[in-house]
Amino acid sequence: MDIDSLVQRNKDDLAGLEQVLAYRFTDLRLLQKALIHSSFAFEQAQIDNNNEILEFLGDAVLDLVIGHTLCKQFPEMREGELTRLRSSLVNETHLAKMARDLQLGDYLCLGKGEAASNGRNKSSILSCAYEAIIGAIFEDSDYATVEAVIRRFFVPDMAAKKEELLMADAKSRLQEALQERFNEAPSYRIDLEEGPSHQKVFSVSVLFRDAALGSGTGGSKKEAEQRAASATLAELDEVIQRFSE
């Protein structure tokens, strides 16, 4: 079955997906091709009629648009932080989640074996199809249009992902800042450990030159230390001034 026949057969489903994407294709064959897994193309003897090239293109477009958007949204972040934040947004797990939110699996053309083995819910297949759709929109339109589509889906997650990243990096960022300024590293003190063994709560303080700085609590020592470091970073200017006098 060639691509035009597939478009004709699936035109109602494709129209529904266009509504979900809030984008109307000029060439509906591009959207259809983005939904064709290689297993289906092989069974149909249409080897080149699959979504792999569009996936390759979509991956590059996502990296560019997300990177560009993050630079504008968070100009205070460093290059390494921006790279890690982009990676937390553009990866198989997150893209597959976004594909599931769109119920993308319902629209895929899969080979019989892949369909029988729960292929419509496989993260690898869903994430690739999501990238292929981004590539198809880019091919069908231009940079500004695909940027608007990507931003609509990704921007709502950016602030939360940033907070997760900064919390996870708080200890290393605090250590780098203090070592750069004073050539000394902070330490951490457990102030309180309470609760049953399966539901412990830890309270931790950051120590620097025997002085207690920020504090934090968490369900593990690591989490409490990260929260204490994050609290200290929030007052880093005052900390530096205090120990520079």
Q: Which residues are catalytic?
A: 59, 131
101-104, long-range: CB < 8 A, 24+ apart: 102/17, 102/20, 102/21, 102/130, 103/20, 104/17, 104/129, 104/130, 104/133
Element (H, E) at 129: helix 123-140
| CA 76/CA 84 separation, integer angstroms | 14
d(CA 165, CA 231): 15
Query: What's the rounded Cα separation, in Å, for the pair 75 and 102?
Result: 31
Run of H or E residues at 115: helix 112-116
Give the Cα separation of 38 and 11 in Å (integer).
Answer: 21
Euclidean distance between CA atoms 25 and 41, whole angstroms: 22
Instruction: Determine the Cα–Cα distance for residues 1 and 13; give it in Å rounded to an integer.
Output: 17
Sequence letter at residue 195: G
The first and second tokens of residue 119, run together, are 């292929």
